[in-house]
Structure 1
Amino acid sequence: MKLSNDSSAYLCHLRCTKKAEGRWEPCDKDPSSWLYLNPQPVTEGTSFGVLRKTFWGRVNSGHEFGWRKTHLGPDFAGSDQSVWAPNAERVEVVLPAKADDLLSDPCELLRQTDKFAAPNKQALLTYWTMPLGTAERLHIAWECVRSFARLIACERDLGSIVALHSPGVIGADFPLHAHLLIVPRKLGWGIKHGPYDQTLIRDDGQEILGRLWASHRNGEGIS
């Protein structure tokens, strides 16, 4: 599978932030602007960020962020988030083998992420974006990103929500892409007791995920 490295158009839509008083302000219409983004340059169209409990004065929750990344469009900004009916192209939870089956419900996974967040930690979710603009078919792109989430589950004992976005459906000029919303806590003992994956909630996480993704998309480890 050949995946596009052309990220310029795609990266333009990642944030609708505005500059004010010398800093970037989160924008309610774009949940990507709620993230702390690694100041290091992105590579090959990928994007890495961490959703923190607070960011530039905005109070965040994993559930709100995950809901918005799977329910697309500005009309959802004020919608009832107790109703889970995603309109993203595809959405699935991928869990490590020992995780509780209840966490396969994305709503439950995100609510527990918020409920059991350690008081001395800011990180709620690790966010990873993968461009898929030149994948041969949508189902091939999906299997690639889903198996990447499986790789993370197996190697790092972490659960993820995989969301495939197809902007062409609504006539938007952005390529096919996918997001991983990674819960950065090892799930063998459940979210409440699971230790944090410290490297994935720091800037170093970008290099780690970038290296794994580059290897994976080139055919190594794809099931």
Structure 2
Amino acid sequence: MFKRWLMIKKLGSEIDLDRLKAVLFLRKKGKDKDINNLLPLLSDKDWNVRNATALTIIKLVNLYPEKKEEILLKLHQLLEKRSLATKLSVLEILGQLRDYSSKDFIKKIIEESDYDLQYAAIRAIGYLDDVDILSSLKEVVYSKDYITRRAVIFSILRIVNSVEEEKKVELLTPHIHLLIQVYLELNELDEVIYKILDYGDPEQFPGMKPYSEFEIIRLTSLIEQYDYRVPVYKNFAKIIYPLYFPLNS
């Protein structure tokens, strides 16, 4: 009991290591009432303390689900008012808690924020395993920032893999360009892409998008791995056209 009291007191210590030890202690021995004591440390000056605090809050909220609604409300308030460092930690928590009520908050951040916060929001929204979120990623998947783009790619992959197998063609056909981008970067989702080209509802296909000659060769090779079927090539031609780079005269 005394050790617990001492550790809680150390949350306010001026020594970084003391605060970190206190947070890690609460991850193992924390109670529901300790979660509120941890929230201020999401703004701690030390990254290790902030990161440990986020992971501890995630564990305790999952352990005491009756506290979830209260804590989520406070996290939303932090997301609107605090510093970038705090927001990064909050987004990680919201994502790992799979808080669907935060979806609109996170989508807005993806659409309006710079790379640092956008990256964290993309990671967070990927945890939600919600196909509807894919529409929010269709612009940032082509980001020139490598880290942001990779975060999008892995979030798309996570969401696609969360869809029940028998529903993948129906739900993912409108997002085939996103799946193609995952394939081009990670060499994943080839089977899903082929099934969409083969069985997808033509009315659900998105508009055409230009691809480079190299990308088209890769996609054609993907199709050729499977049995030849005319509908596949017809659907391929409906959504893909070559990107030409005219020579300067």
The verdict on a shared fold, with TM-score over 0.5 as the criterion, is no
Which is richer in helix?
2
Higher alpha-carbon Rg: 2
TM superposition score normalised by structure 2: 0.26
